[in-house]
A and B are shown apart, each in its own frame.
Chain A
Amino acid sequence: MIEAFASLGPYVPLLMEGAGTTLLLFVLTLPIGLLIALPFAFARNASLPVLRGVGHGFVLLFRGAPLLVILFLVYYGLPQVPGIRQSAIWFLLRDPFPVALVALSLNSAGFQTHIIAGALRNVPANEIEAARAAGFSRMQLLRFIIVPHAIRLGIRSFGNEAVFVLKGTAVVSFITVRDLMSAANQVYFRTFEPVPPLLVAALVYLVIVLAVSRIVRRVELRLTPELRMTRSRREMPQAAR
């Protein structure tokens, strides 16, 4: 077994490079997804039925469709849309890496829209009424009451979503992006030992997830001091997405 791991030696740079690509996809997908999600989240809660429908459809599309379908649609399907090769977004669709980023970000944006819209909706109405009664303008209301409270409500789901984004990055190996998953496979194909590279990759994913959970928990405790004492609330049923 130990010799098997020693045989990984020459492939450490390959695995590191893969891990770097995975991390890069991870840290880029979350903020890009957030930027896309924000307008849709406000649309989802708008009073205009058309806007609500758009927000709802966006969430439904990405919560219902497998990430791999989205990825293949963007990678193989979109270039077949007439005129897209002449359009301004073509530069995003030419190479696998940007395609992977587009697909992952859109997918995450769907889930983030769901989380943000839910958090915004669940800000207690009496707080908003109190702020209105105190003469807050719309911007002030948003800035000092709604957004801070919504962040507290949504931070935990956001942390879960971050983990799903990280796990989701593995699908990019299907379109030839050299991420950690594909690096591990490469090492297997060269050494004919499947266990060591897969185990090392699993360990790297695990370490990133544990780090992310730790950071999210820190932020959560900082934002919601009242939860520090009551552990039981943390253990309420929380279905994955």
Chain B
Amino acid sequence: MDLSILAFGSGWGNALARGLFVTLALAAASVVLGTGLGLVGALVATSRFRIAAVIVGGYEVVMRSVPELLVIFAVYYGFSFALQPFLQMVGIEGFVAINAFWSGVLAIGMVHGSYCSEVFRGAFLAVPAGPLEAARALGLRPFPVFIAVKLPLALRFALPGLINLVVVTLKATPLVAAVGLQDLLRVAGDAGKNTKQYLTFYLVALAIYLVLAVLIWVVESRIERRASRFLGA
């Protein structure tokens, strides 16, 4: 196996690095969006507003049941489709390709959010009643109780689950290549096609994904240990 094809500069190193950057950016943006959506989703689903809770709960079931690939296509095609009437008004006809990266972020973020919501919901249920009662007895209003007491405590329960979901979402990012994003796996595939060295390049991609996953798991176990210190060893 000639490894010079992987070199930076003359080989495929630069392209792979760019692909890796796209993958990381996509995963990071999706996780940020998804975690926010998940928090909001969990709050709505556990709120007093029954109808909103049912709607959000149903939406999340759908997001968790349908393949990520389908969500990606739905967002990507759905958006260009929905935009068509407006674009026709300003005189643009035919299929308009919207940005693959951001539709990928939206699609994967929505799926990520539906899983995060489950984690947050469990974490809120796990917060003991004592500290909340104490905060209320001190005269704190509902919002400060939530921000200063409930959320920080819930985060300790939620963090391991949330970080574990980062790996799940990282593993979903290659699917965005289906709408044309040049992520790590797509670049590895192009390199394989060009050099006829599929095995080499897919093994390299595999190794990179595994290293990323292991790094995230290491962070997870560190944080888990740190966040559960208060529970006593």
Name A's B-contacting residues (CB within 8 A).
60-61, 63-70, 72-73, 76-78, 80-81, 163, 166-171, 173-174, 181, 184-185, 188, 193-195, 198, 201-202, 205-206, 209-210, 232, 235-241
Contact = CB atoms under 8 A, between A and B. Distances in A.
- The 9 A-B pairs of least Cβ separation, nearest first, read A237-B122, A64-B213, A170-B67, A239-B161, A194-B77, A209-B65, A76-B198, A77-B199, A66-B171
Contacts of B81: 193-195
Interface in B176-233: 177-178, 185, 189, 192, 197-199, 202-203, 205-206, 209-210, 213-214, 217
Interface residues of B, number: 54
Contacts of A67: 171
A65 B70 contact: no
Contacts of B165: 239-240
B115 A239 contact: yes
B121 interface: yes
A22 B205 CA distance: 27
A193 B126 CA distance: 46
Contacts of B66: 167, 202, 205-206
Given A171-B175, A239-B119, A64 B209 contact: yes
Contacts of A188: 77
A150 B123 CA distance: 26
A115 B162 CA distance: 19
Nearest to A173: B69
8 contacts: A60-B210, A66-B185, A72-B185, A76-B202, A174-B178, A181-B67, A236-B122, A240-B115
B68, B162, B167, B198: residue with the most chain A Cβ atoms closer than 10 Å = B198
Contacts of A81: 199
A209 B168 CA distance: 19
Interface in B94-135: 115, 118-119, 121-123, 125-126
Interface in B137-169: 157-158, 160-162, 164-165, 167-168
Given A171-B175, A238-B122, A77 B69 contact: no
A67 B172 CA distance: 8
B202 A73 contact: yes
A72 B189 contact: yes
Contacts of A72: 185, 189, 198, 202
B70 A163 contact: no
Contacts of B157: 237
Given A72-B189, A198-B73, A235 B206 contact: no
Interface in B70-95: 70, 73-74, 77-78, 81
Contacts of A232: 125
Q: Binding site of A, secondary structure by majority: helix, strand, loop or mixed?
A: helix
Given A66-B172, A163-B65, A239-B165, A198 B209 contact: no
Contacts of B62: 202, 206
Given A69-B209, A170-B67, A205-B70, 14 more contacts: A60-B210, A66-B171, A66-B209, A69-B205, A73-B202, A80-B198, A170-B69, A171-B67, A195-B81, A198-B70, A202-B70, A232-B125, A237-B125, A240-B165
A72 B217 CA distance: 25
Contacts of A171: 67, 69, 175
Given A63-B213, A69-B205, A181-B67, A194 B199 contact: no
Nearest to B207: A65
B196 to A, nearest CB: 8
Contacts of B41: none
Contacts of A201: 70
A232 to B, nearest CB: 8
B58 to A, nearest CB: 10
A240 B165 CA distance: 7
Q: Counting chain B CB atoms within 10 Å of each CB, which of A65, A173, A185 scores highest?
A: A65
B191 to A, nearest CB: 12
A194 B70 contact: no
